[in-house]
Structure 1
């Protein structure tokens, strides 16, 4: 009997362990999570502190105000338009003016070397030798006038993407339940914490993005159009010969058009606060592009002979 009780006692779970629930692991706060939490709290405090008129929704108004302010501070000063303008209006004309001297220098070198051949062979050799010299001179002029293409391409990406991603993450964190944004509506949003049920803001975002792509040619001058026509003619001739020619500009524009549709689908899945931020940022970018293109056109016309 004693041995039976001892065996049952060993099989019985200890009562002390059943009194306490199992410990849950405490999530460790990383630098990113701490920074997001701090920025989220700062955004909520800012929305309460700003003296908006009584009828204005404080959180939606703060999103719009912060978007415009950050774009003015972090994206407008780092616009690549100035670098692009210097490349097109200073570097390219100067390189064109130097091409005749480069051709003469190449011809003199060929004469000194005793190059012989028919007219077609001579022209092909001149073109072959001129290309690397012109490319080196172009690179030198771009560096001299601070208009190198790589920084021109990377500058908008470096200045805009971190700001865009960071603000999106902060607003997503602020919109997580429970949140005060759930009680505020704006435009077609019944709540800033939920997606637009009418899909008005996502569609508007896609339209604005597409307008930014299509309106890029509104302020193109005659010289640029003439150069594009020459490039198109040259491309057609090369393709008739069976060569494969890539057109980066058309590929880029097609990708942006596809992005317009993709942004609609993606925006439909994010909270209303993020949708409002994306639409505000896209609208600011559209007007910024128009203003810079118009200013660029005025500057071109001012220096035109």
Structure 2
């Protein structure tokens, strides 16, 4: 059928049921009638012996059942298939590194040890490297890689079989009173057996020694395997991972930054007690501030020139103009029209002088604000998008990262501690940023000017334009970080805590 074109060898685009529905042959009018079936008689006549039996008798054609169930329950069909141990794939041998595709540790790389009698595969991380203990996995849910580790020196005990992983039978409470009072209490977690823990350590020691013989294999086992959304496309309801879709420049940039972040978190030599990914997030925020520090220093120098060179001169110049205007106004007998005329003339001359000084000292307020704010916006967007991309990936490494009150970096902070901290840092930085930058104000003489509007035009500082805006945005940051994953929230906090306002 033309519409059921093949998508692979012996595989069509449509299933048999869909082909039947599309053809619609069942809707056609059937002109021929089915032949009439002969009626089956329920009894038949048989000849019986004996003079007193009548010679003939009617007997039923089908014997009645000896047992009738009380309910019409369908009996399951009994399978007569013989259960055989699954054949091990040729690509899997002892020491092969496998990628888990399902289960709690999906996306992790593990080392294959042996095949158990049930057909399941015995694997381990090892636990000392990536946290995967001895486990049984189905070979249908693993990907075999070309990487192999020499495990010839590992001697597994005979008791490590399927019964080794069986759960122990726990005795239930038989007392109804104890069950009633224990309702709602968390169940006591049984301690992990010491024998299994020691066996895990012995296996880890052998595998880790073999891993150290080859460079970068330890980092390879620690890294998680993830298929991103850009690497898959949905075709006929199924994901085809061999098809690579088109990626925009921004998406490629985010994916590259995500890969670099994960490599840095794994490769940097952090102490064991430090959470690797959280530490890398904080370190990334500090490095981002160092990157844009030249722009912040340039903006700070321009602001210093404005405060030390332009504003003191404008105050002195304004006082001279005002005293001269007062003398002229007194000569006109305080005429209101003359007073308004001289005030407008003072404002015009003051504005012209201000533009001249700003151009001479290269300290325009609006350009100063742009220099300090614009470079931070791309850095903020890139870092937030990178952390959000990693958090939304299936099998994200942030899911198992916990710090303080955060149980996972891939979920929002349930205690709202980080959002509130971000808002407080923004407000505190806004209010205290110029405690140590207003140098030279003590040398400027205080002038008593009656016109407050003119004084405000002289003493205004460029960053005060955005102080009120940042106070409002602090509330927006609290709401934003409350909704985003904790990893992005930590990155936002490190990005905004040093804003120069």
TM-score (norm 1): 0.70
> Do structure 1's residue 168 and structure 2's residue 384 form an aligned pair?
yes
Match of 2:420 among 186, 195, 203: 203
> Do structure 1's residue 56 and structure 2's residue 274 form an aligned pair?
yes
Match of 2:496 among 279, 282, 285: 282
> Do structure 1's residue 95 and structure 2's residue 314 form an aligned pair?
yes
Mapping 1:139-178, distance limit 5 Å: 139-178=355-394
3-state SS of 2:414 partner: coil
> Cα deviations across residues 1-50 of structure 1 (Å, max 9, x unaligned)?
xxxxxxxxxxx986556822694696421111111111111111111121
C-alpha distance in structure 2 between counterparts of 1:89 and 1:283, whole Å = 27
Unaligned runs of 5+ in 1: 1-11, 111-115, 236-247, 290-305
Unaligned runs of 5+ in 2: 15-233, 237-242, 454-461
3-state SS of 1:284 partner: coil
Question: Does the CA contact (< 8 Å) of 1:68 and 1:284 recur in 2?
Answer: no
> Do structure 1's residue 47 and structure 2's residue 265 form an aligned pair?
yes
3-state SS of 2:270 partner: coil
Alignment-derived partner of residue 432 in structure 2: 215
Pair member with larger Rg: 2
Alignment-derived partner of residue 304 in structure 2: 85
- The Cα RMSD (Å) is 3.8
Change (3 A) 1:224 1:215: farther
Match of 2:346 among 130, 140, 153: 130
Change (3 A) 1:215 1:90: same
More strand per residue? 2
Change (3 A) 1:226 1:48: farther
Mapping 1:222-261, distance limit 5 Å: 234=452, 252-261=466-475
Alignment-derived partner of residue 67 in structure 1: 285
> Cα deviations across residues 88-117 of structure 1 (Å, max 9, x unaligned)?
22111123334466679989xx9xxxxx95
C-alpha distance in structure 1 between counterparts of 2:5 and 2:351, whole Å = 82
The CA deviation at 1:281 is 2.3
> Cα deviations across residues 227-265 of structure 1 (Å, max 9, x unaligned)?
79979x836xxxxxxxxxxxx988854443332222211
Change (3 A) 1:28 1:190: same
